[in-house]
Amino acid sequence: AWPRGIPANSFAFHAADEHSRTGLVLREVAFSSARQRDVRTAPHVTSAAVPGLYATIMLPAPSPVLVFAVLVTLVDRGSGSAKWGYSGEFGPYNWRNVDTSPNVNQCGDKLQSPVDLDDRYAEYDSALADINFNGYDQELYNPYIVNNGHTVQIAATEDSNRFIEGARLPGRFQFAQFHFHWGANSTRGSEHTVRGFQYPLELHLVHFNAKYGSAAESMKYEDGLAVVAVYFEVSPTANEDLSVVVDALKEVRLSDEKGFNLPSPVVLNRFLPRITRSYYRYQGSLTTPPCSQAVTFLVMTNTVPISEEQLQQFRLLRSGKDENSSRLVDNFRPTFPLNGRRVFKSFPSSAPGLGPEGFPSVLVCLLALGGGRMLLLRK
């Protein structure tokens, strides 16, 4: 999934089908105050920046009644088009060969994400203050959800009132969008691992450096983007705070550039753990092509609960436009070596939620004496 930049008097949204990264179809989506939506082509587009990956459409400043967003759909142009996915010949180990022009493909470079996190080797940094989540207690304006063939992404038509500061970030980072990574079952799913352990789902809240004006421009600089990563852990009961997203997944079961306007309010802090002062910080990259090495990752150590039934709704999604397309699961990139990078932590001792050996406290490994198998049980 892609970060979304919103410069003054313009709006941009980025989506992709599972087949292609080339060829742009620009569409204008009008949201009325009644949250009704009309989708039509936009022949009056005056600017399309960064074709093939990002587009920024210059539009008049929105009125209180009508707000515009742009859906940029990357359409299959045949066998010559660039493709990427999470398995087979188009999987992560071949992303370095994907044509991401005009953006530089950095998928084969040395400062890539995700990474494995280990509190034993992370450096405690007493200067890492609490992250200031400004505006995270406010409702997003006209939030919408899209299945872009690689993930489900939630964004809004106006996000300037939501930003993060602190955590030694160089300035203010404006919220752009959030999306998820998950597995085919609950033994895997997260992109970042904890001593090799994967959580069933990981949330990425994407922000761009306000001084660069947009996510597309911010991708060019090592201090351009900040991503807050949140682990989700299986709970016996459903997390009602997730209902606004989980209930909408049935509306975007298939990959579709039109998206779905969420009928219920989306408040970002409901997707954060209760305690956010404990986190890892390191320099990395986007975890999808072009893998731009422009990201400061802030990975929360405390988790958010989610039930198996809620996770199953993610696993029912499809990566294509019909039911015969492959299931949208295991959309996580493998971890990469640090290659000399330093991982910092905001806490002096073992991370909260970790047992005495540094593994998630909810995970108990038992050897079944009768069958000689390892069972993973959750308390």
| Euclidean distance between the first and the last CA atom of the chain, given in angstroms as a whole number | 33
Question: What whole-number distance in Å separates Cα of residue 219 and Cα of residue 70?
Answer: 20
The first and second tokens of residue 298, run together, are 């802030």
Of 23, 149, 13, the C-alpha closest to 74 is: 23
Q: Does residue 376 have a pLDDT over 60?
A: no
Q: Does residue 356 have a pLDDT over 50?
A: no
Band of pLDDT at residue 354, cut at 50, 70 and 90: low
Q: Which of 43-47, 52-56, 302-306 has the highest mean pLDDT?
A: 302-306
What does the pLDDT look like over 155-207, one tens digit per residue? Answer: 987 767 899 999 999 999 999 999 999 999 999 999 999 999 999 999 999 99
Q: What is the average per-residue pLDDT within 30-45?
A: 31
Q: Which fold has domain 104-378?
A: Carbonic Anhydrase II (3.10.200)
DSSP state of 267: B
Residue 151: phi, psi to the nearest 5?
-165, 180
What does the pLDDT look like over 215-229, one tens digit per residue? Answer: 999 999 999 999 999
Q: What is the average per-residue pLDDT within 16-32?
A: 31
What does the pLDDT look like over 3-19, one tens digit per residue? Answer: 444 333 333 333 333 33
Residue 91: phi, psi to the nearest 5?
-75, 180
Residue 257: its pLDDT value, please? 75
Band of pLDDT at residue 47, cut at 50, 70 and 90: very low
Q: Does residue 80 have a pLDDT over 80?
A: no
The first and second tokens of residue 85, run together, are 């996915």
Residue 353: its pLDDT value, please? 54
Residue 121: its pLDDT value, please? 96
DSSP string over 282-344? EEE--SSTT--S-EEEEEESS-EEEEHHHHHHHHT-BSSSSTTSPB-----PPP---TT---E
Residue 58: its pLDDT value, please? 33
Q: Does residue 55 have a pLDDT over 60?
A: no
What does the pLDDT look like over 287-325, one tens digit per residue? Answer: 999 999 999 999 999 999 999 999 999 999 999 999 999
DSSP string over 338-361? -TT---EESSSSSPTTB-TTSSBT
Residue 82: its pLDDT value, please? 53
- Which residues carry out catalysis? 150
Mean pLDDT of all residues belonging to the chain: 78
Q: Give domain limits for the chain.
A: 104-378
Residue 161: its pLDDT value, please? 86
Give percent of the chain with pLDDT exceeding 90: 66
What does the pLDDT look like over 235-269, one tens digit per residue? Answer: 999 999 999 999 999 999 999 878 899 999 999 99
Band of pLDDT at residue 360, cut at 50, 70 and 90: low
Residue 66: its pLDDT value, please? 30
